[in-house]
Structure formats: structure tokens, C-alpha cells
């Protein structure tokens, strides 16, 4: 099987299907369009020969089984990826293929003057001479996480076509709404029935991640009082001014654009409003649990302080946890990480163990009882018009999946 052609074809085909999720909707999945790819995958898994292919109406996960072909006592392992894409234009995705990349700027859309420049994205340079799949500059690509899906399906197809490769039982799952932090909320770990699993949802080649943020979300609703500005003294309550007061209380340097590594942050992602009414949505992230709790308490303290200045108590705060650092679970049994580490080294890939500065279904699934570290899927500049992935990276990720399954027989 030609992994290069298979992964490239699959990613492009999947990428063209709009699967954007929507945090404002409470349905499962949050958008019906995600079902287009989920149902396609259900049929494709059957076509390549997977068994126990099922679509779960309750959680919108497609699951399937690669049966064991050995009598040895081998632990069942799983591979997971998500179908939804992030909060960026995903209508009419038109992937472009850049063969034998020459290390120069890439014109994504000549008509609109959209160029992906190496000066802005030096992470392009390691991919010289490789084949890149990019956007046309007007949408995201969706390699997060459709590259992971392509890799898993291609690996399963290869193993089905090569029964001489001895392996244990393998479970796969493709689900919705990871980008809005809800995809794994109803994941059925008992039905999945794996000792441990991997999300194929990381970035560049070699990434192996078992540490994630502790994560919370905060939604503020600010109620003002709009009075004609000419007669507003002593009467107007400007919700926008109150919002600014809240923002100014947050540490200016503890934001995503000023932090890295294991540094936590506050991130305001959406604001809408008028003098009379403002809504603000933000996320809170930290790797250390104690620091995480202090960050949440600090937000509550700011809200209480501002409310104390007004008889009307103008700010209503909704604060809730989203997921926790999966290292708290995985570090108690590192077998899954050690297996992936050994598989990468066997393939000549240097494992890059870094903390995930983002979310992953693996965080929630780990706390449900299935340790689930994250492995690279190859994507770069994800969630926007400058997203790209090298086909060579997808090939290596596919090979890692197969090597993990092969090595699990003797693990």
C-alpha cells in the first residue's frame, strides 16, 4: 500500500466536507454537518474490512474493531481522532498541493493577495522538498484532525490487507465537538473497552504528549443601564466600561501571546455588547492544579470586587471546569507512553515530549479510566488560513500507528 497516496487522498477528501462545530449549540453533535463525515467514515470502515462498525446515536462517535489475529494475551489498544474543525471559515475548503516545496513564500490566493511567508512562519522551512497540502487562503484546512483520521484509517486498511502481521485487538473511534471541548463528555469507555489509547491529534513529527492543561471556561453577562448621554450623570451604568474594568484587572502578560511551555494564561475569546448589555467569554488554563484553582478564584474575586461598586450587581459569572491535566492519570502507568516512544525510535523518529498547550479528548478520556496520550498527526499553523500539513508527516504518523500495534504484541 502506498501510504503517501492514501493519506493524501483521504485528507483532501475529508477536508472538503464542512464539519465546523458550534459552541453555542447544545445538541450532540453541536452541528448536523459533522454527521456527513461521521456517516462517511462509518461506511468507509466497513468497506476496508473493519468489524463491529457502529455509530452511537447518543454520543455521535463512530467506533470499529480490528480483531486480534493472535492467540497471545495482548491488551486491547485504541486510536481516536475528531471530525470537527475549529471556529474559522470552513465553507468550500479547497486544499492545494505544493509538490517539492522550495522553501520560499507560498502564494495561497493570488486574487486576494494572501501569501504564507517564511518570515512569518519559519516552521515552513523544515519541509523543503516535501509535499505540502495548504489552504487556498480563505478557509482553514482541517488537518486538525482530519489528518489523524486519514492516518488511522490508512493504518487499519494496511493491517487488514497484511494478515501476516501479528497483532492484538485494536479499537478505533472518530467523534465530534473536540474543538469546543465537549466531544468526549459522553464517550463510552466501557463499550470502547481498551486498556489504553492514543489520540492522533498532535502537530509536527515526533510530538508525544501526555501532559495537558487544566482547563476552565468563564462566561460573563454584564447588565448595564443605557441613559441618554446628555442626562446620564448618576444614572447610566455602562456595561462596556465595566467589561474594560474586568479586563484591566487581568495580568497583561498572562495571555496566550505572551506565554509558552508550562505557563498558564487567561484568554478572552469573544466579546459582544452595547452600553446596556455585554457578554464576554474567556478560558483559563494552567498545568499546575493549585495554580489553576487560584486563577479561577482570582476571576471570581475580580467579579465580586466590581459588583461591590454597584447596587445592581451588574456582572453575572458562569465558571466551569472543562478538563484536567491528563498527566495526573497517565504518570501512574506510563506503559502507553513508553510503547509509543519505543515505536518512534524504532522508526528513526526522535520523540518530542512536550506539554499540550491546548485541549484534547485524551484529557477527558484519561480521567474516564483509559489513559490516552497524544501523538503527532503532522498539522502546522492549525485553526486558520495558514494551516498546512506535509504528506510525509502523515506517512510517518501512519507508520507509528502500525509500529505501536506490532510492538504491542510483545509489550
Question: pLDDT tens-digit profile of 126-172?
Answer: 999 999 999 999 999 999 999 999 999 999 999 999 999 999 999 99
Are residues 366 and 299 both part of a single domain?
A: no
Which three cell numbers, joined as nine digits, stand for 361?
479528548
Q: What is the domain-level CATH number for residue 61?
A: 3.40.630.10
Selection from 144, 142, 84, 132 nearest residue 108 by Cα: 132
* Cell numbers at 349, concatenated: 523518529
Clarify whether residues 261 and 400 are in a common domain.
no
**What is the structure's pLDDT at 410?**
77
For residue 118, what pLDDT is reported?
A: 98
Task: Clarify whether residues 87 and 149 are in a common domain.
Answer: yes
Q: In total, how many domains does the chain have?
A: 2
**Domain span at 254:** 214-323
Same domain, 341 and 358: yes
> What's the CA gap between 383 and 298, in Å, rounded?
29
C-alpha 341, offset from chain centre: 21
At residue 103, does pLDDT exceed 90?
A: yes
Gap between the Cα atoms of 33 and 256, Å rounded: 30
CA distance 61 to 71: 29
pLDDT at 158: 98
Q: Are residues 59 and 152 in the same domain?
A: yes
CATH number of residue 254's parent domain = 3.30.70.360
Per-residue pLDDT, 33: 98
Smallest CA-to-CA distance from 95 within 388, 354, 333, 403 is with 388
pLDDT digits (tens, 9 = 90+) for 29-80: 999 999 999 999 999 999 999 999 999 999 999 999 999 999 999 999 999 9
What is the reported pLDDT for 218? 97
pTM attached to this predicted model: 0.91
Average pLDDT over residues 8-21: 98
- pLDDT of res. 315: 98
State the Cα angle at 370 between 143 and 162, rounded to 5°: 60
Q: Cβ distance 171 to 69 under 8 Å?
A: no
pLDDT of residue 110: 96
Q: Per-residue pLDDT averaged across 104-125, rounded?
A: 97
Instruction: Check whether 347 has a pLDDT greater than 90.
Output: yes
Same domain membership, residue 74 and residue 11: yes
- b or e along 149-159 (b: 16 or more beta carbons within 10 Å of the residue's beta carbon)? bbbbbbbbbbb
DSSP secondary structure letters along 60-127 = --EEEEE----SS----EEEEEE--B-SS--TT---EEETT--SS-EEEETTTTEEE-TTT-GGGGGG
Look at residue 10 and tell me whether its pLDDT is greater than 90: yes
Distance of CA 269 to the CA centre of its chain: 16
Q: 309 falls in which pLDDT band (50, 70, 90)?
A: very high
For 132, the 3-state DSSP assignment is strand
Please answer whether residues 45 and 153 qualify as being in contact, where contact means their C-beta atoms are separated by less than 8 angstroms. Answer: yes
Taking the C-alpha atoms of residue 190 and residue 108, their distance in angstroms, rounded to an integer, is 45
What integer pLDDT is reported at residue 359 of this predicted model? Answer: 72
Q: Are 95 and 147 in the same domain?
A: yes
Q: Are 264 and 387 in the same domain?
A: no
Instruction: Give the C-alpha separation, 115 to 42, whole Å.
Output: 37
Residues 142 and 32 both lie in one domain: yes
Query: In sequence order, what are the residues at sequence separation of 6 or more whose Cβ sits closer than 8 angstroms to the Cβ of residue 394?
Result: 3, 7, 8, 11, 147, 150, 151, 377, 378
Judge if 298 and 340 occupy the same domain: no
How much is the pLDDT for 368? 96
- Give me the percent of the chain exceeding a pLDDT of 90: 96
- Does 339 have pLDDT greater than 90? yes
pLDDT of amino acid 202: 85
Tell me which of 323, 350, 370 is where a domain ends.
323
Nearest alpha carbon to residue 148 among 11, 6, 267: 11
Q: 33: which residues sit within 8 A by CB, 6+ positions away?
A: 17, 18, 19, 20
Average the pLDDT over 85-101 and give the result.
97
**Residue 269 pLDDT exceeds 80:** yes
Of 301, 323, 345, the position where a domain reaches its end is: 323
Q: Are residues 205 and 222 in the same domain?
A: no
Supply the pLDDT for residue 360. 78
- Beta carbons of 387 and 398 less than 8 angstroms apart: no
- Catalytic sites, residue numbers: 84, 178
Query: Quick check: 144 and 359 in contact, CB under 8 A?
Result: no
Would you state the pLDDT for residue 262? 93
- Comparing CA positions, the residue from 244, 230, 291, 293 lying closest to residue 264 is 291
Round to whole Å and give the CA distance between 131 and 172.
27
- Whether 374 and 145 have beta carbons less than 8 Å apart is answered as no
* Same-domain check for residues 339 and 221: no
**CA 67/CA 106 separation, integer angstroms:** 44
User: Mean pLDDT throughout 186-193?
Assistant: 97
pLDDT at 411 over 90: no
Amino acid at each position: 500500500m502506498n501510504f503517501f497516496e492514501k493519506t493524501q487522498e483521504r485528507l483532501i477528501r475529508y477536508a472538503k466536507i464542512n464539519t465546523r462545530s458550534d459552541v453555542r449549540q447544545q445538541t450532540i453533535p453541536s452541528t448536523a454537518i459533522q454527521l456527513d463525515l461521521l456517516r462517511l467514515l462509518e461506511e468507509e470502515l466497513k468497506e476496508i474490512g473493519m468489524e463491529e462498525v457502529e455509530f452511537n446515536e447518543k454520543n455521535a462517535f463512530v467506533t470499529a474493531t480490528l480483531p486480534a489475529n493472535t492467540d497471545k494475551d495482548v491488551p486491547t489498544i485504541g486510536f481516536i481522532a475528531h471530525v470537527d474543525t475549529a471556529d474559522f471559515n470552513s465553507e468550500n475548503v479547497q486544499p492545494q498541493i505544493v509538490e517539492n516545496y522550495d522553501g520560499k513564500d507560498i502564494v495561497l490566493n493570488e486574487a486576494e493577495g494572501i501569501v504564507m511567508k517564511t518570515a512569518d512562519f519559519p516552521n515552513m522551512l523544515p519541509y523543503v522538498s516535501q509535499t505540502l497540502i495548504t489552504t487556498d487562503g480563505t478557509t482553514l484546512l482541517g488537518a486538525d484532525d482530519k489528518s489523524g483520521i486519514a492516518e488511522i484509517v490508512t493504518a487499519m486498511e494496511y493491517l487488514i490487507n497484511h494478515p501476516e502481521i501479528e497483532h492484538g485487538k485494536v479499537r478505533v473511534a472518530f467523534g465530534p465537538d473536540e474543538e469546543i471541548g465537549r466531544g468526549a463528555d459522553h464517550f463510552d469507555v466501557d463499550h470502547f473497552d481498551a486498556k489504553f489509547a492514543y489520540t492522533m491529534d498532535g502537530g509536527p513529527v515526533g510530538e508525544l504528549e501526555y501532559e495537558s492543561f487544566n482547563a476552565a471556561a468563564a462566561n460573563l453577562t454584564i447588565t448595564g443601564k443605557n441613559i441618554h448621554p446628555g442626562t446620564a450623570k448618576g444614572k447610566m451604568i455602562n456595561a462596556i466600561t465595566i467589561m474594560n474594568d474586568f479586563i484591566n484587572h487581568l495580568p497583561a502578560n498572562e495571555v496566550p501571546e505572551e506565554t509558552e511551555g508550562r505557563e498558564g494564561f487567561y484568554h478572552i475569546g469573544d466579546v459582544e455588547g452595547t452600553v446596556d448589555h455585554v457578554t464576554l467569554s474567556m478560558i483559563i488554563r494552567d498545568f499546575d492544579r493549585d495554580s489553576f484553582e487560584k486563577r479561577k478564584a482570582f476571576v471570581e474575586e475580580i467579579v465580586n470586587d466590581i459588583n461591590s461598586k454597584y447596587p445592581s450587581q451588574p456582572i453575572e459569572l458562569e465558571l466551569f471546569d472543562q478538563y484536567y491535566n491528563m498527566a495526573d492519570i497517565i504518570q501512574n502507568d506510563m506503559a502507553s507512553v513508553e510503547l509509543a516512544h519505543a515505536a518512534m525510535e524504532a522508526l528513526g523518529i526522535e520523540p518530542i515530549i512536550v506539554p499540550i498547550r491546548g485541549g484534547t479528548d485524551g484529557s477527558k478520556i484519561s480521567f474516564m479510566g483509559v489513559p490516552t496520550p497524544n501523538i503527532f498527526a503532522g498539522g502546522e499553523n492549525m485553526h486558520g488560513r495558514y494551516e498546512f500539513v506535509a504528506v510525509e508527516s502523515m506517512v510517518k504518523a501512519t507508520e507509528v500507528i502500525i509500529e505501536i500495534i506490532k510492538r504491542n504484541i510483545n509489550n
